[in-house]
Structure 1
Amino acid sequence: MQMLNWVDWTVLAITLVAIVAYGTLQTRGSKNVKDYLRGGNTSKWWTIGLSVMATQASAITFLSTPGQAFNDGMGFVQFYFGLPIAMIVICLVFIPLYHRLKVYTAYEFLENRFDLKTRTLAAILFLIQRGLAAGITIFAPAIILSVVLGWDLLTLNIAIGLLVIIYTVSGGTRAVNVTQKHQMVVIFIGMLVAFFIIVSKLPEDITFTKALEIAGASGKMEVLDFSFSLDNRYTFWSGIIGGTFLMLSYFGTDQSQVQRYLSGKSVREMQLGLIFNGLLKIPMQFFILLVGVMVFVFYQFNEAPVNFNPTATEMMLQSDYAEDYKKLQEEQSQIFRDKQKIIEAYNTSGKPETAAFITAANAANDDIRKEARVLIDKASLKMDMKIESNDKDYVFIHFILNNLPRGLIGLLLAVILSAAMSSTASELNALGSTTTMDLYKRNVSEKTEQQMVKTSRWFTFLWGIIAIGVACIANLFENLIQLVNIIGSIFYGNILGIFLLAFFFKFVKGNAVFIAALITQVLIIALYFLNEYEYINLPFLWLNFVGCTIVICIACLLQSLLKNEKPTAT
């Protein structure tokens, strides 16, 4: 695997330093809470839209999504089908209410509607899940640089985390918004360049249309799945139902997103920003998945490693299982040679029965890769080393480092690191503001504006340190992008249910909601682990719908038993 040269380092360094410096210099010196936490309410709709997209599109998106498509195809895009529905609901219900109440955080509304303990509970649930997610968004790019530089993950986690802390603590919400706008420009340019480079590196007789046919023959272009089977994690129905509830909670109640559009100049600017995000997000995810599919097609004509994690391969060749691993490499090479003949026949004839042979060859190759992962796990256990065998998150970075020209490698790394910085900055900004406004301010005597800004800076810094700590102890899951969504799904349904009770169930009061939320959170965590140990079959995306439904039902039932409770302010 080739290392970076001075051209790549120059492109990478100039891009990242320019973004951080610009965000810090343009937004330094916020004097009051409104400026620091809501950006002075000066953001235009395009800034809001790009900032919202950048918050969601972390390094995990550009690191894991191509690997997801490489392994499983385009079906993951169904996860986002509920996004436009959620955007419409939020624009009509959430935004006008937040703007009218002039809240700094989404959870302030819950105290007005219910009581302080319900506000505090919702804020704490947010802090837990978003604090974990912030650590993962730091961990993702650290994986990349550990491969590129050969540095240990601990050093990289600390370095990346501190870089983000600098401009987030310095400039607050406006610094995050300003930098994210430029980061998204870098991201769009980088991914477009990567796509055209991949297509250009295919054999001369393989056009883009032919590449799509080969991907389709391999089962990678199956976008829609209308089955009702819970065995399929991503279907049209899970995306429309579970995805809608997840996106409603994420964009409507998660402070890392709410804070992005609360900085808007007006309700109209906020709404236009979210509609912009809703229209662009699905095509963007489709395109990123298509990049992963094109990487898959590329490796139909260029031999891939048995495992894309170079550290794992290096360890295996020095372990007691080296001969077994070399045998798997030889078997994969033979499958690759046979597949070349099959693909050539398919290109010539185009017969459907030939496509079946391509599918069979890829299935055999997948079996080899599974055997390699088992061997890597055995070797790492025997050698008492934590080496990750699951290589989905290494696929795209392996392609970048081995196939892109000098300079473009630095640009693509800048894309992934920019995404990491933008998403992590949003999360730290939201964690700091939620801790300040929902926990600290409600439990201390009145402070001046300057003291509140200072306190918010310190809480943002503290959450940055906590996120670095989480990153340092994180390990790869099945896939990083799935891990983030799983963490969110465990909490989001419950939080969304609390807000929907506040909006639409006026007879339900604070005590009933608070008790229902506690019960629901325990039940959802239990359901997740029951599914993990295969006692039940409930894909994580459905936890959003189930959690929301449970908390509403329990709260309504409890309220009927607490008829004598005094009404709370609305």
Structure 2
Amino acid sequence: MGILDWTILCVTLLFIVAYGVWRTRGSKNVDDYVKGGSEAQWWTIGLSVMATQASAITFLSTPGQAFHDGMGFVQFYFGLPIAMIIICMVFIPLYHKMKVYTAYEFLEGRFDLKTRSLAAILFLIQRGLAAGITIFAPSIILSAVLGWDLGTLNVIIGTLVIIYTVSGGTKAVSVTQKQQMFVIMTGMFITFFFILGYLPADITFSKAMKIAGASDKLNILDFSFDTSSRYTFWSGITGGLFLALAYFGTDQSQVQRYLTGKSIRESQLGLVFNGIFKIPMQFFILLVGVMVFVFYQYNPSPLNFNPAATKAVMESEYAADYELLQQGQVELEAQKRIAQNGFSAALEIKEYTAVEEAKQQIIRINKMDSINRVAAKTLIKQANQKIETNDKDYVFIHFILNNLPRGLIGLLLAVILSAAMSSTASELNALGTITALDLYKRNNKEALSEKQYVQVSKGFTLMWGVVAIGIAFVADLFDNLIQLVNIIGSIFYGNVLGIFLLAFFFKFVKGNAVFFAAIVTQIIILVMYYNLIHVYPSGEEKLGYLWLNFYGAAIVISLSLVFESVDRLLRRPLSKNN
């Protein structure tokens, strides 16, 4: 990184922090601090909702996901537009009607205090873990690639977010996220066009897509009913739907974004905006990853994109074996370029047999490439068991640092850190609010003034910021960062969503039945995760994690109905005839 990169990076981040503090200084009451004075317009809500979900993980991990596995991940979002419609019709009117500050405040009115507290605690657990990971994600990758100290990066990112989130609350999060989304999407579009410019002169975008298709990177739709597959059309519109309903409808980090709306209509339009543009945005980010794949068909790439992994094996007794693999990879890349040129030529003459023969050659070389990379991971593991061999999260940052011009590198690093800050800010804001209002205020018998509750909210937000930094220090990469965050959500979201669905549509079910059903359900989901998913980190699990959202909601609803029926039977007085 040169001086220009550092200047762009530092100026961008400092401007966002300073702007957030300046625009939102002096919150006078809880309504100002938690709901931003209920002044937000729909475009602010829509951008804030998108920025909250689009963490650094999205921009680091998603292109790498597409590089390795293609565009199929976009199916994960297929249930989102349906979820937005349901939330606009059911959730938002109820929240506004009851004038709640938090989603879980609604549950006390419908059930009781213990059910509200349980839902709040489940949220705090999963969102607290996620906040730590959204700090850890860019830190671990930038640390490995740039040689920066991991702990220092965790503290820097966490501290920058804490400064303006504690200072201005919800309004600070919303106003900074507009700038962050502008920086993020500008950087991604510039990168996309640079990749196109780096391809050989005769490779147009259309031809690049055919090259990607020949390597099975454009298989978007999977209509199979295989529940062990992580991403299918059916898991997207069922498990993905339930995950989106839970995340946008019951997760305070999102609910707090649209509770700031000037009216029900503004909140609804903000979510409709998200429902329309979220899938195209994710599709585009995946497409950038596919284009990076095409770029590396014509340019050399490392056996493993994680530089720490390469360093570990080259400093071990397996260095000679790894060098042999690297030499084989160089020869394989030469064959790859020849095969791609042959495929391109076949496309020009439009001769079906020639195209198919060239495609089969590409498939054969891809298999050899895959075997080589698996062998490299095996050597790395033998050299150091603690090193992360799965390099999906390093692909995009490797491309940025090694191929983009000076200045643009600084902008892209600003993109990554801005995304980390935007998502983490929403999470800390929500964590502080839930702790202050759902737990502290509701269970504190001493009455405090509005100003004191603002200070309490700021204190809890600061506390959660410190906790998130602490979690970042002990976090692990797992298989793929974007999948890790979604897995954590899926473990808890289905249960919480089921509680809300019971509140909305099953008026005869009471608090005791829901409370005990939710506890049992959470235990069942944890057992299912551990036995059907956790023991298969490679992705070939017995149950795709998205289905946990569906099962969690279905189980808690079913158990609540059973418990309520049993309770009513036990409380029914004996008839006179008996």
Report the TM-score range of the alignment, normalised by the length of the smaller protein: over 0.9
Map Cα deviations across residues 248-288 of structure 1 (whole Å, 9 max, x no partner).
00000000000000001000000000000000000000000
Q: Deviations over 1:63-91 (max 9, x none)?
A: 00000000000000000000000000000
Q: Which residue of 2 aligns with 1:538?
A: 543
Q: Percent identity?
A: 67
Aligned residues: 559
Q: How far off its partner does 1:564 sit? A: 7.0
Distance in 1, matches of 2:402 and 2:396, equals 10
Q: Does 1:275 align with 2:272?
A: yes
* 1:45 equivalent in structure 2: 42
Matched, 1:190 2:191: no
Matches within 5 A, 1:319-330: 319-330=316-327
Matches of residues 252-401 of structure 1 in structure 2 within 5 Å? 252-350=249-347, 351-381=355-385, 386-401=386-401
The match for 2:470 is 469
Rounded Cα–Cα distance in structure 1 between residues aligned with 2:157 and 2:382: 32
Question: Is the Cα–Cα contact under 8 Å of residues 312 and 388 in structure 1 kept in the other structure?
Answer: yes
Paired with 1:7 and 1:155, the residues of 2 have a C-alpha distance of: 22
Is the Cα–Cα contact under 8 Å of residues 39 and 173 in structure 1 kept in the other structure? yes
* Residue 427 (structure 1) aligns with: 427
Cα root mean square deviation, aligned? 1.2
1:206 corresponds in structure 2 to 203
Q: Where do residues 148-187 of structure 1 align in structure 2 (5 Å cutoff)?
A: 148-187=145-184
In structure 2, the partner of 1:558 is: 563
Amino acid at match of 2:249: G
For 1:507, the aligned partner's letter is: F
**Per-residue deviation, 1:149:** 3.6
> Which amino acid is 1:306 matched to?
L
| Deviation at residue 519 of structure 1 after TM alignment | 0.3
What is the alpha-carbon distance in structure 2 between the residues aligned to residue 410 and residue 536 of structure 1? 39
Q: Distance in 2 between matches of 1:338 and 1:155?
A: 43
- Partner amino acid for 1:544? N
Distance in 1 of aligned mates of 2:553 and 2:217? 33
- Is the partner of 1:476 in helix, strand or coil? coil
State the SS of the aligned residue for 2:295: helix
Counterpart AA for 2:547: W
The offset of 1:43, in angstroms, is: 0.4
TM score, norm. by length of structure 1: 0.97
- Partners of 1:376 and 1:387 within 8 A in 2: yes
Q: How far has the Cα of 1:376 moved from its partner?
A: 1.0
Unaligned runs of 5+ in 2: 348-354, 572-578
Contact 1:23 1:179 in 2 (8 A): yes
Q: What is the CA distance between 1:345 and its match in structure 2? A: 1.3
Larger displacement relative to structure 2 (492-501 or 148-157): 148-157
CA deviation after TM superposition for structure 1 residue 61, in Å = 0.1
Name the SS of the counterpart of 1:200 in structure 2: helix
Partner Cα distance (1:305, 1:131) in 2? 35
Distance in 2 between residues matched to 1:518 and 1:95, nearest whole Å: 27
Task: From 7, 15, 28, give the equivalent of 1:31.
Answer: 28
Q: Is the contact between residue 509 and residue 565 of structure 1 (CA under 8 Å) also seen in structure 2? A: no
1:484 maps to 485
- Write the letter of the residue equivalent to 2:188: M
Distance of 1:149 and 1:398 partners within structure 2: 10
Q: Distance in 2 between matches of 1:466 and 1:153?
A: 16
Does the residue aligned with 1:104 lie in a helix, a strand or coil?
coil
2:393 is paired with a residue whose SS is helix
Larger mean Cα displacement after TM superposition, 31-40 or 149-158: 149-158
Which runs of structure 2 are paired with 1:90-239 in the superposition (5 Å)? 90-239=87-236
Which position in structure 2 is the counterpart of 1:457? 458
**SS of residue matched to 1:345:** helix
Structure 1 stretches lacking a partner, 5+ long: none
1:418 aligned residue = 418
Give the letter for the 1:16 counterpart.
Answer: L
> Per-residue displacement from partner, 1:195-220 (whole Å, max 9, x unpaired)?
00011100111111110000000000
Comparing 354-363 with 234-243, which one deviates more in the overlay?
354-363
- Following superposition, the deviation at residue 451 of structure 1 comes to 0.7
**Map of 1:503 onto structure 2:** 504
Structure 2 CA distance for aligned equivalents of residues 167 and 43 of structure 1: 18
SS, match of residue 562 in structure 1: helix
Q: Is the Cα–Cα contact under 8 Å of residues 63 and 416 in structure 1 kept in the other structure?
A: yes
Consecutive aligned runs of 4 or more in structure 1 exceeding 3 Å deviation: none
Report the equivalent of 2:574: none
How far does the alpha carbon of each residue in 1:298-346 deviate from its partner, in whole angstroms, 9 at most, with x for none?
0000010001011211222111110011111111111111112211111
Please tell me whether the aligned partners of residues 238 and 542 of structure 1 are also in contact (alpha carbons under 8 angstroms).
Answer: yes
Normalised by the length of structure 2, the TM-score is 0.95
Asked if structure 2 preserves the Cα contact closer than 8 Å seen for 1:118 and 1:510, the reply is: yes
Letter in 2 for 1:367: I
CA distance in 1 between counterparts of 2:195 and 2:515 reads 52
Are the counterparts in 2 of residues 157 and 468 from structure 1 also a CA contact under 8 Å?
A: yes
Q: Quick one: distance in 1 between partners of 2:415 and 2:535?
A: 37
Question: What amino acid does structure 1 have at the position aligned with 2:376?
Answer: A
Pair 1:16 & 2:7 matched: no
Find the counterpart in structure 1 of residue 436 from structure 2: 436
- Counterpart CA distance in 2 for 1:194 and 1:338 is 27
**Alpha-carbon distance in structure 1 between the residues aligned to 2:129 and 2:213:** 37
Question: Aligned letter for 1:50?
Answer: L
